[in-house]
Amino acid sequence: MARAAESGFPIKPVYGPDDLSPDLPQRLGAPGEFPYTRGVYPSMYTGRPWTMRQYAGFGTAKESNERYRHLVAQGTGGLSVAFDLPTQMGYDSDDPVASGEVGKVGVAIDSLEDMRLLFDEIPLESVSTSMTINAPAAVLLLLYALVAEEHGVAGDRLTGTIQNDVLKEYIARGTYIYPPDRSLRLITNIFEYCRTELPRWNTISISGYHMAEAGATPVQEIAFTLANGVEYVRAAVEAGLAVDDFAPRLAFFFVSRTTLLEEVAKFRAARRIWAGVMAEQFGAKDPKSLMLRFHTQTAGVQLTAQQPEVNLVRVAVQGLAAVLGGTQSLHTNSYDEALALPSVKAATLALRTQQVLAYETDVTATVDPFAGSYVVEAMTDEVERGALALMAQVEELGGAVAGIEKGFQKSEIERSAYDVALGIDSGERVVVGLNRYRSESEERYEPLRVDPAIEADQRERLRVLRGKRDGAAVERALAELKQAAAGEANVLPPMRTALKELATVGEVCGALREVWGVYSPQEFF
């Protein structure tokens, strides 16, 4: 019986030469050359492996710092910060909206003092830091840069990424603050600021991961992600930025599922599409503007609470798919994440999975091992065709923002998620340990829990902070931020001043809320 790919096209039992495109050599190119199907760098992992970036953050800044120091000691080359929901939404820990959520799904960061604790004794000059933050991305980036400055590390030496991808929040995740046009203004301000102040920083990580976790197929994941990328580039160009001045610092973020062959094809197709879009639609000349560089995280949505140790196998396969697909950095999920925050043991095993792939297998010995494979090349073409067709639909609606306002991307993803749920419920889609090969007795698991006293501790820290800072200086700085937001000036310089004066995350985001308002889905649906 023939199987269908996650994206819906049929998978043939046997592939052969007739399934290959007649212009395959041109569509492949060489590694490190247009259209980058085979990878963005000529040597890929034969020179050095991908960045092993582990995602972590919970409770207080002090607790998260202890986990980061452990990961660095175990060989992690890059940190990835998870923030709690109040921080992601631009609220302080003592705001009534934050009640019950402080430190739960990430670390609580309210001010420069928290950021100092978070990166205490972390070598910021040598560790690349990624921050999964969107609407308040500028705020957290500036706090990081201020801490680095206190460590004696200048902005031109810092490397890392802010996610800063607000459009996907309207589609699949929900941690937005401002209306889309104001969000795009803030993002272009970040592009402009970082060009001179943080030139090695990746100013955005355009994310398909969260759409995939919400149910998007591989084709939908890259189509909607790249369509969002087009919208960001278009907004920056319309704001007066030259494409080759900011595009080299754009990055992407994708999921890696257990369907290894289709995932490898997806990554290769995404590189090829983006190179074509940047060259043909925007006239980019710098080769770095054409390169789709991406981070990958293994699929959290595919982890099961049942027989959690089986997740180690899933994560290994997903990590291998990302490596074979040419990722620039990788986070491997911990086997216990379907149950709770990762334990130290599980987080260490997740890192060890990457180290085994890098140092004990031979996949790093050659570039793009699947190049010329009948099945992978045919699948790459299939994914590319499907994604380009979906991107064309988004353009017909007026672009990514117009599609969001009409609910197009969200409804397409929800339909795919429903199909997956039906397949699992019927048993047609096998999930080991969940709907087949169940275990009669499950070993009791003791999850890592966040101390509820954290919320009270953060409130007290904020009370002390507000009592000792120069309140008049904070008010002046926030007034200058609001003035910049009301006009056309870049808002990051006055925002930096406010944060240095110990204005809180909530106060800074609140100042922008006063001027720009907040996004309400009821406006469109």
User: Would you state the pLDDT for residue 442?
Assistant: 67
Residue 451 lies in a domain: no
Whether residue 414 is found in the same domain as residue 490: no
Residue 454 lies in a domain: no
The range of the structural domain enclosing residue 504 comes to 471-523
User: Would you state the pLDDT for residue 445?
Assistant: 67
Query: Residue 409: which of 124, 219, 253, 233 has the closest Cα?
Result: 219
Cα–Cα distance measured from residue 272 to residue 35, given in angstroms and rounded to the nearest whole number: 5
Q: What is the pTM of this model?
A: 0.93
Whether residue 125 is found in the same domain as residue 207: yes
What three-state secondary structure class fits 2?
coil
Cα–Cα distance measured from residue 521 to residue 525, given in angstroms and rounded to the nearest whole number: 6
Q: Give burial (CB, 10 Å; 0-12/13-18/19+) of 33.
A: middle
User: Would you state the pLDDT for residue 524?
Assistant: 39
238: domain CATH number is 3.20.20.240
Query: Residue 50: which of 60, 39, 59, 61 has the closest Cα?
Result: 39
Query: Residue 171: which of 9, 356, 396, 411 has the closest Cα?
Result: 411
Q: State the total domains in the chain.
A: 2
Whether residue 516 is found in the same domain as residue 407: no
List the structure tokens of 306: 């049942």
List the structure tokens of 462: 């904020």
Sign, CA dihedral 247-251-254-256, equals positive
Whether residue 377 is found in the same domain as residue 498: no
| Cis peptide bond prior to 35, omega within 30° of 0 | yes
Torsions phi, psi of 107, nearest 5? -85, 145
Among 396, 426, 456, identify where a domain stops.
Answer: 426
Residue 24 lies in a domain: no
Whether residue 308 is found in the same domain as residue 406: yes
Cα–Cα distance measured from residue 129 to residue 81, given in angstroms and rounded to the nearest whole number: 8
Whether residue 383 is found in the same domain as residue 502: no
Whether residue 412 is found in the same domain as residue 483: no
User: Would you state the pLDDT for residue 11?
Assistant: 96
pLDDT tens track, the chain, 525 positions? 579 999 999 999 999 999 999 999 999 999 999 999 999 999 999 999 999 988 888 889 999 999 999 989 998 878 889 999 999 999 999 999 999 999 998 999 999 999 999 999 999 999 999 999 999 999 999 999 999 999 999 999 999 999 999 999 999 989 999 999 999 999 999 999 999 999 999 999 999 999 999 999 999 999 999 999 999 999 999 999 999 999 999 999 999 999 999 999 999 999 999 999 999 999 999 999 999 999 999 999 999 999 999 999 999 999 999 999 999 999 999 999 998 888 889 999 999 999 999 999 999 999 999 999 999 999 999 999 999 999 999 999 999 999 999 999 999 999 999 999 999 999 999 999 999 999 877 667 666 677 788 999 999 999 999 999 999 999 999 999 999 999 999 999 999 999 999 999 999 999 999 999 999 875 433
3-state secondary structure 405-417: HHCHHHHHHHHHH
Whether residue 389 is found in the same domain as residue 504: no
Whether residue 68 is found in the same domain as residue 205: yes
Query: Residue 513: which of 83, 142, 91 has the closest Cα?
Result: 91
Q: What residue ranges in 117-262 does DSSP mark as E strands? A: 128-132, 160-162, 201-202, 204-207, 250-256
CA dihedral 138, 144, 147, 153 (to 10 degrees): -110
User: Would you state the pLDDT for residue 523?
Assistant: 44
Q: What is the chain's alpha carbon radius of gyration, rounded to the nearest angstrom?
A: 23
Complete DSSP assignment for 136-160? THHHHHHHHHHHHHHTT--GGG--E
Cα–Cα distance measured from residue 273 to residue 268, given in angstroms and rounded to the nearest whole number: 9
* DSSP H or E stretch at residue 82: strand 78-82
Place of tokens 């990835």: 80
Inter-residue contact 61 to 84 (CB < 8 Å): no
Whether residue 475 is found in the same domain as residue 418: no
What three-state secondary structure class fits 162?
strand
Whether residue 375 is found in the same domain as residue 512: no
- pLDDT digit string (tens) for 190-230? 999 999 999 999 999 999 999 999 999 999 999 999 999 99
Cα–Cα distance measured from residue 202 to residue 248, given in angstroms and rounded to the nearest whole number: 8
Residue 248 lies in a domain: yes
Whether residue 195 is found in the same domain as residue 50: yes
Cα–Cα distance measured from residue 320 to residue 435, given in angstroms and rounded to the nearest whole number: 25
* Other C-beta atoms lying within 10 Å of the C-beta of residue 421: 12
